[in-house]
Amino acid sequence: MANKLNLEIHQQLKQVQKLSQVQITALNFLAMGNEDLREEIYRAVSDNPALEIVREPVSYSKYGNPEDSDKFQQILENQEDYGETLQAHLLHQLNAMKISDEEIELCTKLIYNLDKNGFYGSMLSPETFLPRQNPAAEKALLERCLKIVQSLDPVGTCCRNPEESLLIQAQLSENPDPLALFILDGHIDFLDPPEPAKINRKLNNFREAWHKKAFAGTSKLDALELTEKSASAALKFILSLNPHPAQGYNSEKAVDSASPDVVLTISKEEGPAADDFSLGIVSGNEDCHFQIKYASGALPEVRISPDFQMDKVAVAKAQLLINSLQFRESTIIMQGCAIVRAQKNFFLKGPGHLKVLTRKEIAEDLGIHESTVSRTSARKGRKYIQTEWGLFPTWYFFTSGVSNRDGSKKISSDRIKKKMQEVLAEPGNENLSDRELCELLNKKGAKIARRTVAKYRAQLGLKNSYKR
């Protein structure tokens, strides 16, 4: 049988989109953390004579200006050096305590997350160390561990800022001044200026204004003596405390610290502010709005040298670098704005107020591809958002959930888990199977599969119906 060879010609039309070198460079920069990008910029400047650095990177600090930082550094240098790191000093005490392995593990993470001043306000927020599988139990564990570390010598570390540290020190002292406790608990502005007569006047004015409010109850000040003498005693007690308890100790590198790519600050303005992503502004409520800023201080600022125009190829490469950096900055700011708008309750009220949010929702909101959002919010990435509640990795703001029965809105996984615990705690429901539990949750409005119920049950540490 003879073999036949047939030749056929087919016409096929394909539309293929290829990324240009400019787009590839811009996307690569977007995925980089500040540390890697800083090295890339220095490498480009050393290789390309058309580029020059006009500003070296500065260290990021949440509190104060450079002059304040320099003065505080001089104070630190004049303090006695204890010859050990703050972390080693705290861990030595922690290891001598009789607490659970779970508490030791979390306390250790909290200790290594402290900055050189002994605070976590510019470091990772303590909530980021929790897996969020059992929110109620984990929150209680975190509160216990924070109190443990705060009570170690020196008292008052592991706080958000000096103001909180002063309050903790006062609360843990043997004979705290009750008027000082009131001042330190949200009224520290009464100490400006630190003059007893003026402090006493502010306290009396506050009490009078409080009782003029409709339906105002009793005030803590009602049970305290408000005189210039009592104000002087409170001031003396406060001045005996140390707003920087970590003075004199060295500091080890935090567990997972990094310069944040996006800095979120809340500035309260009279009246609402309209959203303007181009300026990094997101409306809050009638009292405040959010200003999103790019932490460019961690990166060197570069430009094309005005004295170098000889090599057009070098100038074009320099312009490509600058355009890619600008694309990275604008994209990160836009995504920061979209996250703040989507998770507004968190930024107004703090941890515990996250809602269901996916990367796809942010991408659709901004009209960009989901992979672009993923590049700035990957768990293995080093993108962080600085908030008044602390430093959070970007991925922290993306939470899973399920749809309700009619599909009109999402229900967060935290709420589902809480509802599961409530159902199983009811009399007669102790031995419900995953399928029966799934049916009950569906009747209550949660559109959830049996597999998901089994997964959430395992995350809550609950055994199946045969072993309960």
How far apart, in whole angstroms, are the C-alpha atoms of residue 76 and residue 246?
Answer: 9
Phi then psi dihedrals of residue 110, to 5 deg: -65, -40
* pLDDT tens per residue across span 84-101: 788 888 988 888 888 888
Residues 251, 115: contact at Cβ < 8 Å?
A: yes
Q: What is the structure's pLDDT at 184?
A: 92
How far apart, in whole angstroms, are the C-alpha atoms of residue 7 and residue 20?
Answer: 36
Q: What is the structure's pLDDT at 61?
A: 39
Counting as low any pLDDT under 50, the low residues of the chain are 16, 59-69, 71-73, 75-82, 254-258, 466-468
Give which of 336, 426, 424 is closest to 376, Cα–Cα. Answer: 336
Q: What is the structure's pLDDT at 76?
A: 40
CA distance readout (Å), 161 to 53, 202, 244, 406? 34, 24, 9, 45
Q: What is the structure's pLDDT at 147?
A: 93
Burial environment of residue 7 by CB neighbours within 10 A (0 to 12, 13 to 18, 19 or more)? exposed
In a 3-state reduction of DSSP, which class is residue 54? strand
Question: Which tokens sit at 249?
Answer: 């100790």
State whether the Cα torsion 133-135-136-142 is positive or negative.
positive
* Single pTM value for the model: 0.56
Name 418's Cβ contacts closer than 8 Å, sequence gap at least 6: 135, 136
In a 3-state reduction of DSSP, which class is residue 281? strand
Name 278's Cβ contacts closer than 8 Å, sequence gap at least 6: none
Q: What is the structure's pLDDT at 80?
A: 47
How far apart, in whole angstroms, are the C-alpha atoms of residue 445 and residue 69?
Answer: 54
CA distance readout (Å), 428 to 423, 440, 444? 10, 13, 18
Question: Which tokens sit at 227?
Answer: 């005189």
How far apart, in whole angstroms, are the C-alpha atoms of residue 54 and residue 57?
Answer: 10
Rg of the chain (C-alpha set):
28
What amino acid occupies position 362? I
